[in-house]
């Protein structure tokens, strides 16, 4: 795993994270690791862009879109 050294970070910032860590029963290192991990997750817009790229790879004749309400109504009318 990689290591990162952050220099010249304001004392107030470190104190804030130290308090959050203590409140959560974690070490400062664990708290900062979780903050960085969370910040590195893809955003909704990034995920939507990937989904659009995948959808664009699907041939148009296979992109069947249906109205879920209509499908539910059809199912309700069936004898199972």
Ranges of the chain whose pLDDT falls below 70: 61-63
Which three-class secondary structure state does DSSP give residue 80?
A: coil
pTM over 0.85: no
Give the per-residue pLDDT at 48.
Answer: 96
- Encode 63-78: b = buried (16+ Cβ within 10 Å), e = exposed: eeeeeeeeeeeeeeee
For the chain, give every domain's residue range.
11-58
Which residues lie closer than 8 Å to 24 by C-beta, 6 or more apart?
31
């Amino acid at each position: 795993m990689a290591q990162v050294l952050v220099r010249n970070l304001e004392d107030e910032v470190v104190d804030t994270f130290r308090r959050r860590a203590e409140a959560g029963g974690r070490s400062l290192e664990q708290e900062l690791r979780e903050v960085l991990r969370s910040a590195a997750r893809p955003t909704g817009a990034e995920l939507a862009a990937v989904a659009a790229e995948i959808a664009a790879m699907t041939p148009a004749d296979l992109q069947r879109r249906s109205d879920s309400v209509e499908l539910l109504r059809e199912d309700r009318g069936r004898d199972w």
